[in-house]
Amino acid sequence: MRAIGLLASIVLLSACGEAPRPDLVATDVVVNRPLPGAAMSAAYLTLRNNSARTINITRVTSNAYALVQIHETTVEDGIARMRPLQKLEIPAGGAITLERGGKHLMLMRATPPTDTVSLQFYDGDRLLLTVESAYADAQLR
């Protein structure tokens, strides 16, 4: 009985030792520095949903920009368009990639410059992920 109790506590301990896998993980984060003269820029990343339910990113905030919008560039019939998206939908176990010429975060109203940019991703009011990133070095050229 005592041995079983000891075994149980070891199992519990080892379970506690494992870091919980976060529901939402960001990789390949690229935050572009605003071009000279511009107060806005763009950020790109891949978001992976490790949970068993769909995640909808409905709001993104930043320490360095007063306004962040989810945008998508499309080129159809030779016309380039940029439109705000209401949300980024990431299916259970799936991922979504924001990349140049497609979906991106539009960073607007730059606040006084910071070395690193933080981005907070919300599903409704629930903060799911905070990403910290330096500006991309070889930005654009």
Partner 1 sequence: MGPRNLIVAVVLVAALVSGIFVATQLQKRPVEPRTALVLPAPTPLPEFELVDQFGDAVTPATFRGQWSLVFFGFTHCPDICPLTLQVLASARDSLRAAGYQPLPRIVLVSVDPERDTPELMGRYVNHFGDGNLGLTGELVELTRLTSALGIYFQKQPGDAENYAVDHSAAVLLIDPRGNFHALFSGPHVAEDYVYDLPIIMEAE
| Binding stretches for partner 1 (CB under 8 A) | 32, 35-38, 40-42, 67, 71, 73, 75, 78-83, 100-101, 104, 106-108, 140-141
User: Which residue number, 52 or 140, has a Cβ lying nearer to partner 1?
Assistant: 140
Q: Smallest gap, in angstroms, from Cβ of residue 50 to partner 1? A: 28
Q: Smallest gap, in angstroms, from Cβ of residue 11 to partner 1? A: 50
**C-alpha–C-alpha distance, residues 46 and 122, integer Å:** 15
- Asked if 39 and 76 count as a contact pair (C-beta separation under 8 A), the reply is no
Interior CA angle at 95 toward 22 and 86, to 5°? 100
User: Which residue number, 39 or 92, has a Cβ lying nearer to partner 1?
Assistant: 39
Q: Smallest gap, in angstroms, from Cβ of residue 90 to partner 1? A: 20
End-to-end, the C-alpha distance of the chain in Å comes to: 69
User: Which residue number, 20 or 84, has a Cβ lying nearer to partner 1?
Assistant: 84
**C-alpha–C-alpha distance, residues 97 and 67, integer Å:** 21
User: Which residue number, 8 or 35, has a Cβ lying nearer to partner 1?
Assistant: 35
**C-alpha–C-alpha distance, residues 121 and 130, integer Å:** 6
